[in-house]
Structure 1
Amino acid sequence: MDEKKIMCIGLVCLDIISVVDKYPEEDTDTRCLSQRWQRGGNASNSCTVLSLLGARCAFMGSLAAGQVANNLPDVTAENFKTVDLSDYKWIHVEARNANEQVKMIKRIEQYNDMMAAGQKITVSVEIEKTRDDLYQLFSYGDVVFVSKDVARKFGFNSPSEALKGLYSKVKKGAILICAWAEKGADGLCSDNKIVHSDAFPPEKIVDTLGAGDTFNASVIFALSNGKSLQEALTFGCKTAGKKCGLHGYDGIV
């Protein structure tokens, strides 16, 4: 029997990346050295990285008929009813339309209630945007990724502060993770012991777009393969650091 898959639910979009010799000053014209178009979006990027790492994975989101489109609808709970949950071992949700996503996760919880321990689906949630309506998702993930921006919105100035201050919002037994760019990443689970990994920056930083999505995917990949939280954070930071030294994702593994 084939191994069950990891699904990422959220945004896919078009990223247009212009390469210049230095960061442009305000109100100035700058000649572009090169430009590329690539598929982007948090959930889409994480799915790309999971695939490159060797995971069987799937993406769920709104796709356009052509290369460019605006204001595509988010996935709804009604859309999610078409998913055969028995195909998946892990479902990752990028917080967007939270009210619908809560319904989707509740469907997964109902499914898990009927399954043996080893057959339950792990749910991870990424809370990146500083929007109050998204914060209800803190209590619905087995693994919750909270961004530096959200941590700062709550008044925290380091990943360890954020984890201590926000852990009461997650459900019992959940893992809360906060990455903080050059400060690395911290994780906290029910044993109240904060786990830390330093950052692993490349010799030269060339492209940080999608570094956070790379970190999330790498942590999910490690945890889904039975690695410890410490091992997962270190792997996530190493892979995200390697990505920052590359244009796009080719060569990440």
Structure 2
Amino acid sequence: MKALALKFGFIFYQRVFSGMARILGIGNLVLDTQLFVSNYPAEDSEQRAQQRIFAMGGNVANNLQVLRQLGHDCAICSTLATDDAAKRLKRALEERQIETQHIQRFIQGSTPTSYVQINQQNGSRTIVHFRDLPEVHFEHFAKIEIEVYDWLHFEGRNTDALAGMLNIAKTFLSHQPISIELEKPREGLEDLLEQVNFIFTGKAYALALGLDNPEALIVHLQQRAPQASIICCWGADGAWFAAPGTLASHQASQALEKPVDTLGAGDTFIAATIDALITQKTLAEAVMAGNQLARRKCQQLGLDNLLAPLVTRKPIANIKHITNSRATVVPAPGLPHKVVLIKHDNEIKAYLNNCPHQDVPLDEAYKIDINPFEMTMKCSVHDAFFRIEDGVCVEGPCWREELTPVDLEIDPDTGAIYIAEH
């Protein structure tokens, strides 16, 4: 891989030799509403979700979230509206130390949203996306001093503006690699591929082109971008890859018996592969690193704390400490927030400690007040009252919204309370 660094210039090699790089990601930023269901719903049916989580999403946002954990300085170039969802996304980026100065703001329109159904039987995810916001304008991108970045990664979308962005990148960058993700075929997109050094793609792109195997997709893309290294992720089957002028090679992925959550696994694969390339790994070694971290991601909810060891299942509380007069807030490894526990009609109720109005803990200001007559819990920040029975807001700024329920398992012998395994 040293030869690759020399190809892009000695400066790049010096800067990334320590393993850290400045990375600019250009693409989508989305608010994900994730619904965890016991099985995929049939058409024209109704069922209750076991859990609802709001999370930052979008391919490039996910890439950068993982790359930041891997030790790189990351910045995003995307668009945001001015609604509450946009504020939530900006806060999520800042909490993860992803720079936001290159975000383009629009007064009209609303934050893009993906509604994600996660099947708890097999971890699969089904996504419905709604967008009412423009993509990044070429003129906005042109103002960015891209020379200060060591790697540029683009989502293969917004084709009209992307053509100009890639032209600028090739004109002003002397040594920095440029990568692109091809997720869906778009008119004119493949005409731009001669500008890039690395192409990430996958099964969905191949099938959309009428190709049923990764080798055929790599050959197809080599004809359009002979200068590029091509990496094709094929889910549980691993990934295929080819350097310029070579045949495709396969890197298998270790089987995973029961995935927990596959949402963002492909984005994790791309990020880990880029990280390995930056740190001077060969293409084969980089793809292996991508497979390994993507597999690790599938064993947990969300993208945070990917480098931490998987937590051995431990009880979060014991029923002898849970009463109907006091809310008990406990940490919950693997979940995005702590959990509120309270007794109701001899049953333990559990909800994520997160007010849906502004994405803050219910006990942010002071303890959660319990009204034993109305059987409600009060958010200390927004004076919202939630029914203990079902978590529905019955008074306050998030009226009729719901706290996210958490499924529990209780050991009948010891009274130990666990987060349920699905």
Same fold by TM-score greater than 0.5? yes
Aligned length: 246
Corresponding residue of 1:42: 59
Identify, as 1 or 2, the structure richer in helix. 1
Query: Is 1:63 equivalent to 2:118 in the alignment?
Result: no
* 1:4–1:87 CA contact under 8 A, matched in 2: no
Consecutive unaligned residues in structure 2, runs of 5 or more = 1-13, 87-109, 112-131, 308-422
* 2:159–2:186 CA contact under 8 A, matched in 1: no
SS in 2 for 1:163: helix
In the TM superposition, what is the alpha-carbon distance from 1:201 to its structure 2 partner? 4.2
How is 1:148-187 mapped onto 2 (pairs within 5 angstroms)?
A: 148-172=203-227, 174-187=228-241
SS in 2 for 1:139: helix
Query: Is 1:143 equivalent to 2:182 in the alignment?
Result: no
In the TM superposition, what is the alpha-carbon distance from 1:212 to its structure 2 partner? 1.0
* 2:215–2:240 CA contact under 8 A, matched in 1: yes
Structure 1 residues 114-170: Cα deviation after superposition (integer angstroms, max 9, x where no partner): x4xxxx111001111132332223222100112312212333211122112321111
Query: Is 1:16 equivalent to 2:77 in the alignment?
Result: no
State the alpha-carbon separation in 2 of the partners of residues 125 and 137 from structure 1.
10
Aligned with residue 155 of structure 2, among 94, 104, 128: 94
How is 1:122-141 mapped onto 2 (pairs within 5 angstroms)?
A: 122-141=177-196
Corresponding residue of 2:242: 188
Structure 1 residues 3-35: Cα deviation after superposition (integer angstroms, max 9, x where no partner): 540111000011111112222222221111111
State the alpha-carbon separation in 2 of the partners of residues 171 and 123 from structure 1.
15
* 1:201–1:242 CA contact under 8 A, matched in 2: no
Q: Which has the higher contact order (CA 8 A, sep 6+)?
A: 1
Corresponding residue of 1:52: 69
Root-mean-square deviation (Å): 1.8
Query: Is 1:110 equivalent to 2:165 in the alignment?
Result: no
TM-score, structure 2 length as denominator? 0.56
Query: Is 1:221 equivalent to 2:291 in the alignment?
Result: no
Work out which of the two has the higher radius of gyration on C-alpha atoms and give 1 or 2.
2
Overall identity of the aligned pairs, in %: 33
Consecutive unaligned residues in structure 1, runs of 5 or more = none
Identify, as 1 or 2, the structure richer in strand. 2
Which residue identity is paired with 2:254?
Answer: F
Which residue identity is paired with 2:268?
Answer: T
